[in-house]
């Protein structure tokens, strides 16, 4: 088998052997995602300067990567200082660290991107010169995957700030949004995580795309059921105490509630196949009736404060809808990592 050598510390006491390089598939495939106009893997990252040694691992066209392993000479002192994972391998009894009588200790890894691994190890050893200042979202994600495994975020913080500066996150749910969700999670980037997370909270359709545990979708349906029972029991609307108003809105509510429960896919727990955005949009489009106590002979869509009129279904659900919007806006990285 051919071997590529990359010496970060020529006198180092650790040799990291990367087997089956560039075999890790990090780009998600989901037919439910919107089309991504920019492939996060394109263009292929150029291996320039000292990284040119890895160029043969990134062939043009459809050719497979050659059967090769990468051997990187590094310092155990730098690894143990920057990475909890490497510290456990070198100082502990992990199987990744193969003890031997030789002065050079070997650590093996598989599938990682060779270019990404070299960048991470260079940064750990303080070799920032020639580390590229602009990289693709795909390469950044591969770096984040290694950083997450090695637990060396602090050693990569400066590089991440340089790479992320000026990056524009997707404005809709797509593959690139998922990559940024992972990257921002690994690097504890609160602002970018909130942007990516909100896309998934609003537009994900559940387990097909993203975990929906804790989403307030069920609160919407429970509120509809509660509202229906309340309207059956009430003597008249709260606005004018008009029983005809209640009867009209109740009829619309029963009809819309029936239509919601018969959607395809059905709107049942755990709500896979339907996004929070779709549910809220459907509620916002419930019919606004011609109420009998309207002097202007027009539907009461908004009150004087531009709020939904309290006699409409939307107006009656306003406290619940505001609570859901607040839950979406309050998505925080720190809270999820605690």
Which of 141, 166, 191 delimits the end of a domain? 166
Question: Hunting for tokens 């940064």 — which residue is that?
Answer: 123
Domain for residue 194, yes or no? no
**Taking a C-beta distance cutoff of 8 angstroms, is the pair 146, 117 a contact?**
yes
Cβ 51 vs Cβ 108: under 8 Å: no
Read off the pLDDT of residues 62-114 as tens digits, 9 standing for 90 and up.
556 568 999 999 999 999 999 999 999 888 754 455 555 557 889 999 999 99
Q: Is the pLDDT of residue 227 over 50?
A: no
- Total Cβ atoms within 10 A of residue 160: 21
Closest CA to 85 of 148, 141, 22: 148
Q: Residues 142, 61: one domain?
A: yes
Tokens (6 digits) for 324: 């859901």
Q: Is 229 helix (H, G, I), strand (E, B) or coil?
A: helix
Q: What angle do CA 156, 157, 161 make, to 5 degrees?
A: 120
**CA distance to 22, 56, 149, 195, 338, per residue, from 170 (Å):** 26, 32, 26, 9, 26
pLDDT of residue 299: 47
Q: Which residues pair with 107 in a beta bridge?
A: 16, 97
Is 100 domain-assigned? yes
Max alpha carbon distance in the chain (Å)?
94
Structural domain contains residue 176: no
Tens of pLDDT, residue by residue over 107-155, are 999 999 999 999 999 999 999 999 999 999 989 989 999 999 999 999 9
Q: Are residues 155 and 224 in the same domain?
A: no
Q: Are residues 221 and 144 located together in one domain of the fold?
A: no
| Separation between Cα atoms, residue 221 and residue 267, nearest integer Å | 9
What pairs with residue 73 in β-bridges? 7, 15
Residue 221 structural domain: 217-329
Residues 235 and 146 in one domain: no
Estimate to the nearest angstrom the gap between the alpha carbon of 30 and the chain centroid: 14
Model pLDDT for residues 28-73, shown as the tens digit of each residue: 655 455 444 445 555 566 788 899 999 888 876 555 656 899 999 9
**Does 282 fall in a domain?**
yes
The closest alpha carbon to 115, from 166, 181, 48, 163, belongs to 48
Q: How many domains does the chain have?
A: 2
Retrieve residue 326's tokens: 């607040």
Q: Is residue 199 part of a domain?
A: no
173, part of any domain: no
Q: What is the CATH number of the domain that holds 97?
A: 3.30.710.10
Please tell me what DSSP assigns to residue 129. Answer: T
* CA atoms of 83 and 279, how far apart (whole Å): 44
Q: Are 194 and 332 in contact (CB under 8 A)?
A: yes
């Amino acid at each position: 088998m051919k071997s590529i050598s990359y010496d970060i510390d020529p006198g180092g006491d650790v040799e990291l052997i990367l087997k089956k390089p560039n075999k890790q598939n990090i780009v998600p495939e989901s037919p439910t995602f919107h089309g991504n106009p920019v492939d996060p893997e394109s263009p292929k990252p150029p291996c320039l300067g000292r990284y040119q040694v890895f160029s043969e691992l990134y062939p043009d066209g459809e050719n497979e990567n050659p059967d090769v392993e990468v051997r990187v000479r590094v310092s155990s002192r730098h690894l143990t200082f920057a990475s909890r994972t490497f510290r456990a391998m070198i100082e502990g009894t992990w199987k990744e660290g193969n003890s031997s009588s030789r002065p050079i200790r070997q650590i093996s890894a598989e599938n990682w991107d060779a270019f990404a691994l070299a960048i991470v190890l260079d940064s750990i050893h303080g070799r920032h010169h020639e580390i590229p200042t602009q990289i693709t979202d795909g390469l950044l994600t591969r770096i984040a995957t290694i950083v997450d495994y090695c637990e060396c975020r602090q050693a990569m913080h400066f590089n991440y700030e340089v790479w992320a500066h000026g990056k524009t996150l997707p404005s809709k749910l797509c593959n690139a949004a998922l990559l940024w969700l992972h990257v921002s999670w690994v690097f504890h980037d609160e602002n970018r995580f909130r942007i990516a997370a909100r896309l998934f909270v609003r537009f994900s359709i559940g387990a097909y795309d993203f975990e929906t545990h804790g989403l307030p979708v069920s609160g919407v349906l429970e509120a509809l059921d509660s509202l229906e029972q309340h309207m059956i029991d009430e003597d008249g609307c709260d606005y004018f105490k008009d029983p005809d108003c209640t009867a009209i809105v109740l009829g619309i509510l029963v009809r819309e509630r029936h239509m919601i429960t018969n959607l395809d896919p059905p709107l049942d727990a755990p709500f896979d196949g339907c996004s929070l955005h779709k549910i809220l949009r459907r509620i916002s489009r419930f019919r606004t009736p011609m109420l009998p106590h309207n002097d202007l002979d027009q539907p009461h869509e908004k009150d004087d404060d531009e709020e939904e009129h309290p006699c409409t279904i939307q107006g009656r659900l306003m406290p619940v809808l505001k609570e859901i919007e607040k839950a979406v806006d309050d998505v925080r990285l720190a809270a999820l990592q605690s």
